[in-house]
Structures are given as C-alpha cells and as structure tokens.
Homo-oligomer: A and B are copies of this chain.
C-alpha cells in the first residue's frame, strides 16, 4: 500500500551579523520516495549552495545571510512506497558478511559511545534470538525503560547519559537504540524525518538497522507509524544531520512542521507490524 503525503516546514531566524546556515530539511531522493514535487523559498532571496552526499543521499543547502530576518519555507508532496517484509524472515547479517562500506556504522560516534556498552548490551540482549526480533526487543526495552520527557536532555546528551537518566526525547531514544545495536556488532544509524501522526508536529528522529542486506526502520518511542516516515537524512548520529547548523550570530525563531496525507484520509490504525525499509539492498554485499 502506498500513501501520498504533503509536508513541509517553515523556519525563521533573526540574523544579527553576517552568518552562514547549512540546512538539512529536504526529503531525501530515494527510489521509494515516488513522484516527489518540492518547493523551497528562502526570504530574502539568497543564492543557495547545495550538496547531496553520495550513496546516503542527504541533501544540504547553505545560505550566507546578511543581518535581518531570514525565513526558510519548504514544502513537498511525495508518495511513500516502502519495502515491506515479514519481520520473522529478516535475519542478522554476520559481521563476516557485512559490506566494508557499512562498517563505519558499527563505530562509536559523538552521541553514541557504543564502545562503552559492550557488556551492557550483551547482558540485556546477548541471549536473544538474532535478527529483526532482537532489535525489536531493543525497541521494547527503550519504550519500557526510558521516559519520553521534554527537557530531560539537551543537544549534548549522549546515549550513556540517557541510559543513566532513563529519560529523553526521540533523539535520545534513537541514540540509545543505535548504541545497543553497535555494541552487539549490528550496524545502526540515525534517521531524521517527517513523521505522519507525530503529536505534536515536529521533526522526528528514529534509527535504521542493517539486517539481512538492507537498512530497516525502528523507533523506540512508538510515536509514529514506521510506514509514515518521510526520510530527510541519515548519519552516524544527530551531529551529522542537524536540520539547521548556523555559523554566526543568530537568534532562532519559531519552527513549524507539518505532514498530512495528501488524500485527506485518517491515520491508519492499528500501526503496521511489517518490517519497513525505504532503502534498496546494499549493492556491494559479499561474504568473505
């Protein structure tokens, strides 16, 4: 089943001195993001510098703004055609079979010090059946053990701190899920997205796990449908895909985000129990 979404965001800033902004708010161009139409309006009308990261398809644009107000308005329509599978059929890929270009997603990163969690992850999840089921167990652990609480964390909070504090927001749930996976030698990465059904409307963060030759979506917060996530970017962790990185003297104004079904139908319920992927199989897989 495919669904068409209309989504967008409006970001406002007061620029106090000449400043550079890098944005990552545009929907990734993926084969499973079908028939995408987009509009980006920068006010005032400034030249844009753009960059799409090879392979992972993150789209960045930069502007160099003079003092005064700056507004970014982005809107898109896109039909989601995710790949679906029966979770029971999705096996763990042995390390020996991981493509070498996926190995970086086994490494610790700024907010995911997975190198410190080897014993923790082994003790909590090491004995479980490997595959999609084990990552689902990690998500269940997150849901049952971490409180979703605004203000419990800040932009420097790491997964180990969230583990101690036992509270956080979607970003922290994703970081901790990624940390457990990497500590178990399962590649995992951070995903920023528009999330249909998320309340209140905001950018959302989930994570992807590499299993059985492909990246699969997971969300420990249970706050949105996995097949209603429209991906913006992927990265080692939140550091790589901030929706806005300002360099200079800037006051941040309001952020408005929206996503709705283009057909006006209500959110599907119950939520999907399929394994969901918006990625193609990794092209260069090959066992030793």
Residue ranges of A at the interface with B (Cβ–Cβ < 8 Å): 20, 22, 46-47, 49-51, 53-54, 60, 62-64, 95-96, 99-101, 103-104, 107-110, 112-113, 115-117, 119-120, 123, 145, 147, 155-156, 160, 163-167, 185, 239-240, 245, 247, 286, 288
Contact = CB atoms under 8 A, between A and B. Distances in A.
B116 A165 contact: yes
What is the count of identical protomers in the complex?
4
Nearest to A145: B123
Main secondary structure of the interface of A (DSSP, over half): mixed
Given A62-B100, A109-B110, A110-B113, A164 B164 contact: yes
A116 B288 contact: no
9 contacts: A20-B95, A47-B288, A51-B100, A54-B54, A109-B239, A110-B112, A115-B155, A116-B156, A116-B165
Contacts of A20: 95-96, 288
Nearest to A117: B164
A46 B64 CA distance: 53
A111 to B, nearest CB: 8
Contacts of A113: 110, 156
Contacts of A107: 110, 239-240
Contacts of A245: 103
A147 B120 CA distance: 10
A231 to B, nearest CB: 19
Contacts of A22: 100, 103
B120 A166 contact: yes
Contacts of A46: 288
A62 B96 CA distance: 8
A49 to B, nearest CB: 5
Contact of A119 (B96, B155, B165): B165
A95 B104 CA distance: 27
A120 B54 contact: no
Nearest to A155: B115
